[in-house]
Structure 1
Amino acid sequence: MSYPQQSGMGAHPDVAEMRERLERTAASGPAIAVEGAILLAGVYAAISPWVVHFSGTPFITVNNLIVGLTVGLIGLCMTLVPERMLRLAWVVAPLGVWLIISPWVVTATHSARAGIIANNVAVGAVTAALGLAAMGLTIGVARRGPQ
């Protein structure tokens, strides 16, 4: 008797179990709350230059806009197709760390105002914590196994 050979990761027996576990995690209440909060943190980071008035600092304005849109897009995709995007939750935490350090890195003279620094540290800390929470949800389900 001859069986057709399958190649690649799609043929691995654990792939179906892993997908099912990620889908179960993505459908949980805490995951939905974290995904929504990531989306809101990204939107706020993107609009914060106009909320906090980053006038006279175009580089940090562009930085926050790009990073905020990226985080918001990841959050939106996590809410729309969580079974595919939950694996990208690890990207959110480093983006949060970047938001924290960016006022000193992006401004050439390291002359960011206190309001810009406070804003970026706060939104960056929240974003990094939400990224870690999203990663923790996936890892926690993987350790507990099927229920």
Structure 2
Amino acid sequence: MQSRIEEHPDIQAMRARAAEISVKPSAQAAEGLTLLTGLYLAISPWVIGFNGNPLAVSNLVTGIALAVLALGFGSVFERTFGMGWAASGIGAWAIIAPWVMQNASTTTGTVVSNSITGAVAVVLGLTTTAMARS
């Protein structure tokens, strides 16, 4: 008789530990701030005024991806807690994108907005990863 992997005691213990972490106020704050950061990254081309720029598409796509990732942290943390590194990766991309994207005419506002938003995403991603490891 074979047992299902989901019924393994170690898997159940990991999920219980992740569920316990996800109800802490610090985890909920990180999830909420990650969601807001993703939403801001997605709308930043229209807030800052570079919506005709190829960087706008990058910010829209990565912002939506970050927001969806944050929703995963909030709703099924026990299955997504290991994905904090992805939020950090999205943040790192947001920081370097103004310089590496071709045909992206950058302004000071574009660079500052992406750098601050990216740095916040990196910190929140690392925080989420640290919570998962603690």
The two structures have a TM-score, normalised by structure 1, of 0.83
Q: 2:126 aligns with which of 122, 125, 132?
A: 132
Question: In structure 2, do the counterparts of structure 1 residues 68 and 23 end up closer, same or farther at CA, with 3 Å as the change threshold?
Answer: same
Instruction: Say if 2:14 and 2:78, in contact at 8 Å, map to a contact too.
Output: no
Instruction: Say if 2:45 and 2:59, in contact at 8 Å, map to a contact too.
Output: yes
Q: Distance in 2 between matches of 1:36 and 1:16?
A: 26
Higher mean alpha-carbon deviation, 85-94 vs 19-28, is at 85-94
Higher mean alpha-carbon deviation, 74-83 vs 25-34, is at 74-83
Q: 1:45 aligns with which of 25, 41, 44?
A: 41
Identity, in percent, stands at 36
Find the counterpart in structure 2 of residue 34 from structure 1: 30
TM-aligned CA deviation for residue 17 of structure 1: 1.0
Find the counterpart in structure 2 of residue 85 from structure 1: 80
Letter in 2 for 1:51: V
Find the counterpart in structure 2 of residue 118 from structure 1: 112
Higher mean alpha-carbon deviation, 87-96 vs 35-44, is at 87-96
Find the counterpart in structure 1 of residue 96 from structure 2: 101
TM-aligned CA deviation for residue 55 of structure 1: 4.8
Q: Distance in 1 between matches of 2:37 and 2:103?
A: 27
Q: Distance in 1 between matches of 2:103 and 2:45?
A: 18
Letter in 1 for 2:2: Q
Q: Distance in 2 between matches of 1:55 and 1:63?
A: 11
Q: Distance in 2 between matches of 1:55 and 1:47?
A: 9
Gaps in structure 2 of 5+ consecutive residues: none
The two structures have a TM-score, normalised by structure 2, of 0.91
Paired residues in the alignment total 134
- Structure with the higher helix share, 1 or 2: 2
TM-aligned CA deviation for residue 11 of structure 1: 5.2
Q: Distance in 1 between matches of 2:11 and 2:50?
A: 47
